[in-house]
Amino acid sequence: MTEQENPEREQYNYESLDEILEEVKKEDYDKVGLQGPDGIKPELIEIADELREHDIEPVMVGASTFGACGIANEKVERMGADALIHVGHTRFLHPEKADMKDFDVYYLPYREDRDLMGVLEEHYEEIEAEKVGLVGVTQYMDRADKAREFLRDKGFEVVEGKTGLRTTEPGQVLGCDAGAAHNIAHKVDAFVFLGSGHFHPSQVSETGKEVYVVDPYEKHIWVEPANSLGDEMQAEIARVMKHKDKKKWGIVTSSKKGQNYMRAVEIAKEKLEEHGKEVYIFVEDRIFESDYKGYGIDIYVNCACPRMTKDWRDLAFVSPKALDALDEVEEMETK
Ligand code: SF4
């Protein structure tokens, strides 16, 4: 049953542990799982201590999590937990509509305590656009209203962001979902992005617009050029061309609920088979290059999280989209 067909199990993003404790007590749960990303391990211990103070036994998930795509419900359920507190991210909507609500998960997004507004106030004049779309990552979306008001006061036309395919906060983007930006791209000259690093802004740049990154780590506003992922796609196409005559191809997917896209796997498999390839499908929780060495397969299609294969050095990986290059080669050869 899909999440949409099973609406009675409501799950929400919470702004405080107190709110979650209230819910957990209402349900009379006495053991709950706890998971979060690498950067906040000390905070996770504090949360575990607080749960214990309320006579709730915490079960900690050892591996860090990169997104709510990786909720560890099965692991904590095996340990007898009644529910899971997922710290760091907002609830994730599955793009293939798999049920993400078959276990009680309380989402406590992590809000980064850095001076985002200070950076915006000091550097906003560097934004060379009149109409902007406001987007960002969960860590700063609690300040989106303030940022919007500030920019409007300074004369910018700010277009409200919508939610994406997998996100639940307006304007929020993930490394695998910049839908919030794509939805409003036709109405804006550029995007203002609340956050840091290139991974997320580069996804937003796929809208064809420049992205002004209000970066509280670098303490300034820098620009991600439009379509900056173009080079990455070119590199993927070059890998497809290099291995186009190889017989054996692999497809990797993840057993993490939010990264398990069986439809994408089927489509990639069909396409490869149409081109006469022998296809092997692999599944693993986290995807490490070393696990895929030794099979005699040189090229893998990543149908899980796009960031998983970015640090592969010896084996080739490509996204499903890059497989279109095989069609183009065939077309050229039959002309
Ligand atoms: S980019 Fe990867 S880790 Fe982040 S939400 Fe998407 S699938 Fe999960």
- pLDDT one-digit tens code per residue, 67-102: 999 999 999 999 999 999 999 999 998 888 877 777
Ligand 1 neighbours (beta carbon < 6 A)? 66-67, 69, 174-176, 258-259, 305-307
Of the candidates 188, 186, 190, the residue with the CA atom closest to the CA atom of residue 212: 190
Tokens of 300: 């893998």
Q: Is the pLDDT of residue 66 over 50?
A: yes
Whose C-alpha lies nearest to ligand 1, atom 7? 305
Q: Which long-range contacts (CB under 8 A, 24 or more apart) does 24-27 make?
A: 24/56, 24/83, 24/106, 25/54, 27/82, 27/83, 27/104
Same domain, 105 and 126: no
Closest by CA position to 286, among listed 109, 100, 64: 64
- Tell whether 78 and 135 lie within a shared domain: no
Q: Are residues 286 and 213 in the same domain?
A: no
Distance CA 214, CA 89 (A): 20
Same domain membership, residue 236 and residue 308: yes
Examine the fold and report which residue of 53, 85, 109 is the final residue of a domain before the chain moves on. Answer: 109
Q: Is residue 9 part of a domain?
A: no
Does residue 31 register a pLDDT over 60? Answer: yes
The residue-averaged pLDDT of 262-281 equals 97
Which of 324, 270, 278 is CA-nearest to residue 298? Answer: 278
Same domain flag for 160 and 88: no
- Looking at residue 4, its pLDDT comes to 44
pLDDT digits (tens, 9 = 90+) for 125-175: 999 999 999 999 999 999 999 999 999 999 999 997 788 889 989 999 999
- Asked if 28 and 57 sit in the same domain, the reply is yes
CA 66 / ligand 1 centre spacing (Å): 6
Nearest CA to ligand 1 atom 5: 67
Q: Are residues 50 and 150 in the same domain?
A: no
**Is residue 91 situated within a structural domain?**
yes
Q: How far apart are CA 277 and CA 9, in angstroms?
A: 43
More confident residue, 4 or 22: 22
Q: At which of 83, 109, 135 does a domain end?
A: 109
Instruction: For residue 307, report the distance from its CA to the centre of ligand 1, in Å.
Output: 7
Give me the pLDDT at residue 9, please.
43
Domain contains 10: no
Residues 6+ apart with CB under 8 A from 124: 150, 151, 154, 221
pTM, two decimals, is: 0.88
1: pLDDT strictly greater than 50: no
Q: Compute, in angstroms, the gap from residue 302 CA to the centroid of ligand 1.
A: 13
Q: Is residue 11 part of a domain?
A: no
* Burial of 92 per CB tally in 10 Å (0-12, 13-18, 19+): buried
307, 308, 309, 319: residue to mutate for ligand 1 pocket, most atoms within 8 A of CB: 307
Which amino acid is residue 19, in one-letter code? E
Nearest atom in ligand 1 to 308's CA: 2
What pLDDT shows up at residue 322? Answer: 95
Domain count, the chain: 3
Q: Residue 326's domain is classified under what CATH number?
A: 3.40.50.11860
Two structure tokens written together for 146: 């303030």
pLDDT tens-digit map of 94-124: 888 877 777 899 999 999 999 999 999 999 9
CA of 228 to the centre of ligand 1 (A): 19
Indicate the length of the chain as a whole number: 335
Distance of alpha carbon 303 from alpha carbon 176, whole angstroms: 11
CATH number of the CATH domain containing 190: 3.40.50.11850
Q: Do 25 and 96 fall into the same domain?
A: yes
Which of 85, 109, 133 delimits the end of a domain? 109
Which conformational region is residue 95 in: left (phi greater than 0), alpha (psi within -120 to 50 degrees), or beta?
Answer: alpha
Judgement on whether residues 44 and 141 belong to the same structural domain of the protein: no
Domain identity same for 120 and 216: yes
What value does the mean pLDDT take over residues 193-215?
96
Distance 319 CA to ligand 1 centre (A): 14
What is residue 100's predicted lDDT score, i.e. its pLDDT?
75
Cβ atoms within 10 Å, residue 211: 28
Give me the pLDDT at residue 11, please: 58
Sign of the Cα pseudo-torsion (313, 316, 321, 325, in order)? positive
Q: Residue 101: give the domain boundaries.
A: 17-109
User: What is the 166 CA–ligand 1 centroid distance (Å)?
Assistant: 10
Q: Is the pLDDT of residue 3 over 60?
A: no
Same domain, 216 and 289: no
**Exposure string over 240-276, b if 16+ CB within 10 A, otherwise e:** beebeeeeebbbbbbebbbbbbeebbeebbebbeeee
Q: Whose CA is nearest to atom 1 of ligand 1?
A: 175
